[in-house]
Amino acid sequence: MKSIILWSPNTVNAAESKKIRLVMSLRKAGIQDTAVLSAIERVPREHFIPQAMQDQAYEDIAVPIGLGQTISQPFVVAKMTEALELNDRHKALEIGTGTGYQACVLSKIVRRVYTIERHKPLHSHAEENFKQLGLRNITTLCGDGMRGWPKIHGIEQAPFDRIIVTAAAREKPPAKLIEQLKVGGIMVAPVGESGKQMLKRYKKESEDTYSISDIMPVRFVPLLPDIARDDTREEMVVA
């Protein structure tokens, strides 16, 4: 497996000026939640991106991180985060950790983040990122996100105030995720086949009903079951 360093201190000064321009562009593009903009400003996106692509860390584009996965473009991250209507009392579940960027953004706003990744190398890398950044309110798991957060050592974390899914379900989010959403809670998830995906917002009105609204067209990798078994056969660009 090839290993490439993601981040270097030499990139910090240049990154800061680019980050400010990015936050200003997100505001102009319609992101109004100041907590979301502040979180994006405080998270070092270059830390989650391969060194060969450091100059694109604060461009408004998705960046590949290996194993067929990407970090979403900042506008999509901001839009999804804003649609969750977060506050510092919330407990959030993320499906699809990647290298940890979205979870890091969430951690700056909510009380606790639980995040699931099906690719073992990405899960390990995200954990290392969180450790290096001193983030203590994120709990990670390598597992099947379609099944939600499991009971561990007899402890049940569900229901969650908010759920964010960073991979696209074909027709609707898995039933288990709806089940693990608290009544009154919000889930944001892309739905649809490739080329026809829509980012949707689900609000759980009761144990049996929820409302749905469309946010915008998006492009995400498909939401898949189980822990990935072929990671060692594909070169990673993350460490």
5-19, 46-60, 88-102: least confident range: 5-19
Q: Is 124 labeled as catalytic in the residue annotation?
A: no
Is the predicted pLDDT of residue 2 greater than 80, yes or no?
no
Cα 6 to chain centroid, rounded: 18
Give the domains, in start order, of the chain with CATH numbers: 9-227 (3.40.50.150)
pLDDT number for residue 230: 60
Report pLDDT digits (tens) over 135-156.
999 999 999 999 999 998 889 9
The active-site residue out of 8, 25, 72, 211 is 72
Report pLDDT digits (tens) over 180-217.
999 999 999 999 998 899 999 999 999 999 999 999 99
Contacts with 122 (C-beta within 8 Å, 6 or more apart), sequence order: 65, 66, 67, 69, 97, 98, 99, 238
